[in-house]
Chain A
Amino acid sequence: MDLVELSRLQFAVTALYHFLFVPLTLGLSILLGIMETVYVMTGKPVWKEMVKFWGTLFGINFAMGVATGVTMEFQFGTNWAYYSHYVGDVFGAPLAIEGLMAFFLEATFVGLFFFAWDRLSKVQHLIATWALAIGTNLSALWILIANGWMQYPVGARFNVDTMRMEVTDFMQVFFNPVAQAKFVHTVSAGYVTGSIFVLAISAYFVLRGRHVEFARRSLTVAASFGLASALCVVVLGDESGYTAGQSQKMKIAAIEAMWETEPAPASFTVFGLPNLKNHHTALEVKVPWMLGLIATRSIDTPVPGIGELVGTARNNIVDGLIAYRLLPQVREHPADPALRAQLDVHVANLGYALLLKTIRPDVENATAGEIDRAAASTIPNVPVLFWSFRVMVGLGLWFIALFATCFWLSAKLTLHKTPLVLRAALYSLPLPWIAAELGWIVAEYGRQPWVIVGVLPTALGVSSIPAGNVAFSLIGFALFYTGLLCADLYLLVKTIRLGPGGSHGEIAA
């Protein structure tokens, strides 16, 4: 494997590991806030016991989230140095604000949450818990503003004097519609994860006939919060689909395996076997109108297919090449306004010309055939996206069904007597993680070959370091994280086996 592949693999491995812990932190922190609010309002000790038990599990998971998160903050610099130089002026800002606004809040109050039960009044402790929950959710907001800009880079332009992207309008960066849609989709997916976690483990207690009163209350909270969240995930996932339909047409076309533009309103493919080589999807089962409605919210706007988008990319490359050829001239005559004006006309497509860099280093001499190859390289891995998306959506629908059933039964006060549903809840435990990781794959793998869509190809973003160093750190991180994950799972299982109250006399923090 070469440097680019190793760097990408390391980023994927560390990000996917980190994302095993993040959704649960997001969801459990809010659930802890809800449970403790009920405790403060009713004064019933069982609710405090719930906060403590789920809090202990939260803490074990939180430590892993922090541990794997440290790497992420520095990995852009260590492994993606050119990326960091090229877009740091834009991308660094939300990361720094995330630290100031979110990380400090969650990390400072997590100490109080665990250590200050006897030092704070009930209401003060409740405030600490909510500060922790708000902090974790704010951190998701800022990292997704950064990520949203990678998907849809608004409010910035290329500066030839510094050879990088610079911010022109922070409001556009911060209120990026893609970022907003991704934020609500991601946090509600986190709430679903937290709810399934509580639901499944509570179901386990009831099935074993242990801690039934404790578990019944936990089931009720998880089922109602989970139902609302699962509905949000799908509705707001649809919002993500709409904004992606506006800004990332290639990703939508690839998810749909839609090789050619369909007349409006486009249909949605429920099943099919996409083939990357001959650009054909076998055994298609289609629902008429649905894609047109999701991606354009209209019945008369066509959704462009992959073939048409490759054609657009080709035009952009040709235009971008004009900008690329102007760069050395502007560097040579930095005071010539005519050259700069000419560059301004074509600079928006400079990134497309950079796609040629992986084909030949002297981009300016690219042949028509090479331009065609570069245009074709804008097609992401269609079968992987097609199936990741469908499994994710299928799981999302299953969560709605599961939560709705649990909610209905717990409203009738019969959930704890319905072992079939409890078993379904228990066996659903790993599913939200699968859905979350697939969601990451759709969003980030679907962005390829770009690291910043239309601005910087992934292959150019890497650091100039020996590939051996990256292989070493990749193996190091993989071993390290796997070891820690084993310790994490061991402790989670041990704590669950002990059950609520089991940590009395044990060490709870």
Chain B
Amino acid sequence: MSEYEILRLIWWALLGILLIGFAVMDGFDLGTAALLPFVGRTDMERRVAINAVGPVWEGNQVWFILGGGAIFAAWPALYAASFSGFYLAMFLVLATLILRPVGFKFRSKVDDPRWRAFWDWCLFAGGIFPALVFGVAFGNLFEGVPFSFDDTLRLRTDITLLGLLNPFALLVGLVSLCMIAMHGAAWLNHKTRGPVQVRARAALPVLAGLFMLLFLLAGLWLSLKGGYRIDGVMPHDGPSNPLLKQVSRGSWFGNFAVMPVLWLAPVLAFAGAALAALLRTKPLVAFLCSALAIAATIATAGLALFPFLLPSSTMPSASLTVWDASSSRLTLAVMLGATALLLPVVIAYTTWVYRVMRGPVSEDSLNTDSHSY
């Protein structure tokens, strides 16, 4: 394998790791927000749920921002095509995510029920919508997206918001929503005490069960759908120009047929969700199992798509793949160095912060602590 090919593979794996980092770390903040009206009925209960993520959600959100930056740096064609192609969906996600920082910060600063109810709705929307829309976007990757390039590599898209809302993509959106809500319930079960914990613990098996059912349904549906495959031999270290290959219809299960060991990914997704539900009286273990389910679900999707990043339905040969949508060899190498240097430092101080903020959140702890939301 050439150096460029290896760098592309590593950055494909890093893309997956960043998505998993976002879904696992920020996922429990999103899930907590999505469950807010259900686990918290009084203002105090809602404050318990909010403060369960209060000190850490801001750092977790950086996984999302970093995901954007890293896709820009390592997969610029993917960054350009996906975010402009999914324009209105992206606007919805950004608009609801914008509500989150201010929602958390502003909500408890004014002691007025209408003010707080308003921000609670904002936080709820900021949990539900991103989880749903990211799933819908993933679903559309499997459908293929209508886009093409002219010979200056200017993108043309015929993507409409209604086109994105096809039945299969909506199903994947629900898979994502259940997964994120399960993760939020697992976090609240671990981090809170009192009625919020009781409700989160009761919701956990329901959400995990729903997730497994919908994940299975999506898999079965996908096996009936065609996928895409690259025709002939394509150089893995050629220039990043997506117009130099031929693509035809295939199956999204091709990689699993060639390498049966990959079936481990979907199996771990089921196992993680099942264990999260079964071990809910051991909250930390259940939370880690839920994180495993998320990681394995994203890995399943990535492995099925490989080497595709964004298949085109209208001009399949313009599909973006690992081999022709990356940055230059030099940029991939320098960014890998920067990541190898900085990410361990990030993980080290993040771990320290979680250690400092360890311990449960309850109504009593909020009453004695003036430094909370």
Contacts from A to B (Cβ < 8 Å): 59-60, 62-64, 66-71, 73-74, 76-79, 81-82, 84-85, 88-93, 95-101, 103-105, 107-112, 114-120, 131, 159, 161-164, 166-168, 170, 328, 331, 463-465, 469, 472-473, 476-477, 480, 484, 487-488, 491, 494-495, 504-509
**Would you call B241 and A162 a contact (CB within 8 A)?**
yes
- 24 A–B pairs (Cβ distance < 8 Å), ordered by A: A59-B105, A60-B109, A64-B102, A68-B98, A70-B61, A78-B87, A82-B154, A84-B79, A88-B79, A88-B327, A89-B331, A92-B76, A95-B68, A96-B66, A96-B69, A99-B69, A103-B66, A104-B66, A112-B357, A159-B328, A162-B239, A465-B84, A472-B91, A494-B110
Task: Given contacts A91-B72, A463-B84, A508-B371, list 5 more A-B pairs with CB under 8 A.
Answer: A92-B74, A96-B66, A109-B353, A118-B369, A170-B330
B79 and A480 within 8 A (CB): no
**Contacts A115-B372, A476-B91, A476-B95 given; does A81 touch B357 at CB 8 Å:** no
Would B346 and A100 count as touching, CB distance under 8 A? yes
B360 close to A (CB within 8 Å): no
Instruction: Assess the B94–A66 pair: CB atoms within 8 A.
Output: no
Most buried by B among A60, A119, A162: A162
| Chain B contact residues, CB within 8 Å of chain A | 54-56, 58-59, 61-62, 64-66, 68-74, 76-77, 79-84, 87-88, 90-91, 94-95, 97-102, 104-106, 108-110, 151-157, 239-241, 327-328, 330-331, 334-335, 338-339, 342-343, 346, 349-350, 353, 356-357, 369-373
A469 and B88 within 8 A (CB):
yes
How long is the Cα–Cα vector from A175 to B1 in the complex, in angstroms?
33
By Cβ-Cβ distance, the 3 closest A-B pairs, closest first, are: A88-B76, A77-B83, A92-B73
Query: Does the CB pair B102–A108 fall under 8 Å?
Result: no
The answer to whether A67 touches B372 (Cβ under 8 A) is no
Interface of B is mostly: helix
* Complex CA–CA separation, A90 to B74 (angstroms): 10
**A42 to B80 CA separation, bound complex (whole angstroms):** 53
- CB of B342 within 8 A of CB of A100, answer yes
B161 to nearest A CB, angstroms?
9
Identify the interface centre among A73, A76, A85: most chain B CB within 10 Å of its CB: A85
CA of A71 to CA of B240, assembled, Å:
27
Q: A77-B79, A97-B338, A508-B370 are in contact. Are A103 and B328 (CB under 8 A)?
A: no
Look across to chain B and name the residue whose beta carbon is closest to the beta carbon of A56: B109
Determine whether the beta carbon of A331 is less than 8 Å from that of B151.
Answer: yes
With A107-B59, A108-B58, A465-B87: A161-B73 Cβ-Cβ less than 8 Å: no
List of A residues within 8 angstroms of B110 by Cβ: 491, 494
B101 touches A67 (CB 8 A): yes
Kindly name the residue among A112, A505, A507 whose own CB sees the greatest number of chain B CB atoms within 10 A.
A507
**Pairwise interchain contact B331-A166, C-beta atoms closer than 8 A:** yes
- Which residues of chain A come closer than 8 Å to B109, judged between CB atoms? 60, 491, 494-495, 506-507
Cα of A73 to Cα of B61 in the assembled complex, Å: 13
Q: State how many angstroms separate the Cβ of B123 from the closest Cβ of chain A.
A: 13
- A88: chain B residues at CB < 8 Å are 72-73, 76-77, 79-80, 327
Interface of A (DSSP majority class)? helix
The answer to whether residues A67 and B68 also contact, given A159-B239, A167-B328 and a CB cut-off of 8 A, is no
**How far apart are the CA atoms of A7 and B190 in the complex, in Å?**
45
Interchain CA distance A480-B122 in the complex, whole Å: 12
In whole angstroms, what is the CA distance A395 to B232 when docked? Answer: 65
State whether A509 touches B80 (Cβ < 8 A).
Answer: no
Q: Which residues of B contact A68 (CB under 8 A)?
A: 98
Smallest CB separation, B59 vs chain A (Å): 4
Write out the residue numbers on chain B whose beta carbons fall within 8 Å of the beta carbon of A463.
80, 84, 87, 155
In the complex, A276 Cα to B353 Cα: how many Å?
57
B155→A85 contact, CB < 8 A: yes
A488: which B residues are within 8 A, CB to CB? Answer: 102, 106
Minimal beta-carbon separation of A52 from chain B (angstroms): 9
Cβ contact within 8 Å between B330 and A99: no
Would A84 and B101 be within 8 Å (CB), given that A89-B331, A163-B153, A163-B241 are in contact?
A: no
CA A79 – CA B99 in complex, angstroms? 21
Nearest-Cβ distance from residue B310 to partner chain A, whole angstroms: 12
Inter-chain contact A464/B241, CB cutoff 8 Å: no
Give CA–CA (A115, B353) in the complex, Å.
Answer: 11
Q: Which residues of B contact A168 (CB under 8 A)?
A: 330
CB pair B62 A473 closer than 8 Å: no
A99 in complex: contacting residue of B56, B70, B104, B153, CB < 8 Å: B70
The docked-state distance in angstroms from the alpha carbon of A451 to that of B110 is: 43
Which of B59, B70, B240, B371 sits near A104, CB closer than 8 Å?
Answer: B59
Contacts of B357 in A (CB 8 A): 111-112, 115-116, 119
B263 to chain A, nearest CB (A): 33
Please name all residues of chain B whose beta carbon is closer than 8 Å to the beta carbon of A112 when the two chains form the complex.
55, 353, 356-357
Given contacts A112-B356, A509-B54, contact A78 B73 (CB under 8 A): no
Asked if B68 and A74 sit within 8 Å, CB to CB, the answer is yes
B251 CB to nearest A CB, Å = 30
Q: Residue A78 contacts which of B84, B241, B350 (CB distance < 8 angstroms)?
A: B84
Assess whether B62 is in contact with A99, with CB atoms less than 8 Å apart.
yes
A64–B100 alpha-carbon span in the complex (Å):
10
Contacts of A66 in B (CB 8 A): 58, 61, 101
Contact partners of A71 in chain B: CB under 8 A = 94, 98
Residues in B whose Cβ lies below 8 Å from that of A504: 370
- Contact B372 A78, beta carbon cutoff 8 Å: no
Cβ contact of B106, chosen from A63, A107, A117, A473, cutoff 8 A: A63
Say which residue of B62, B82, B87, B338 sits within 8 Å of A103 (CB atoms). Answer: B62
A76 to B339, CA, bound (A): 22
Contact of B72 (CB < 8 Å), options: A62, A84, A472: A84
A390 to B297, CA, bound (A): 57
Quote the shortest CB–CB distance from A25 to chain B (angstroms): 12
> With contacts A92-B74, A104-B62, A115-B372 known, is A77 near B82, CB below 8 A?
yes
Closest to A60 in B: B105
Inter-chain contacts of A509 with B (CB < 8 A): 54, 108, 371-373
Q: Are A85 and B77 in contact (CB under 8 A)?
A: yes
- Neighbour of B91 across the interface among A73, A111, A473, A495, CB < 8 A: A473
Contact B58 A111, beta carbon cutoff 8 Å: yes
CB of A130 to closest CB in B, whole Å: 13
Nearest B residue to A119 via CB reads: B356
Could you say which residues of chain B place their CB within 8 Å of the CB of A70?
Answer: 61, 64-65, 94, 97-98, 101
The answer to whether B83 touches A81, judged by C-beta atoms less than 8 angstroms apart, is yes
Q: Closest B-chain residue to A73, C-beta based?
A: B68
Given contacts A60-B105, A78-B90, A99-B62, whether A118 and B239 have CB atoms under 8 Å apart is: no
Give the residue name and chain of the A residue nearest to B329 (CB): A166
Q: Could you tell me if B356 and A118 are in contact, using CB atoms closer than 8 angstroms?
A: no
B241 neighbours in A (Cβ, 8 Å): 161-163
| A77 and B84 contact, CB distance less than 8 A | yes
Known: A116-B55, A166-B330, A508-B371. A161 touches B84 (CB 8 A): no
**In the complex, A56→B346 CA distance in Å?**
26
Are B156 and A99 neighbours in the complex by a CB distance under 8 Å?
no
Which residues from A are CB-within-8-Å of B371? 114-118, 508-509
Known: A84-B79, A166-B328. A111 touches B157 (CB 8 A): no
- Bound: A131/B350 CA distance, A: 12
In the bound complex, residues from chain A placing their C-beta under 8 Å from that of B90 are 74, 77-78
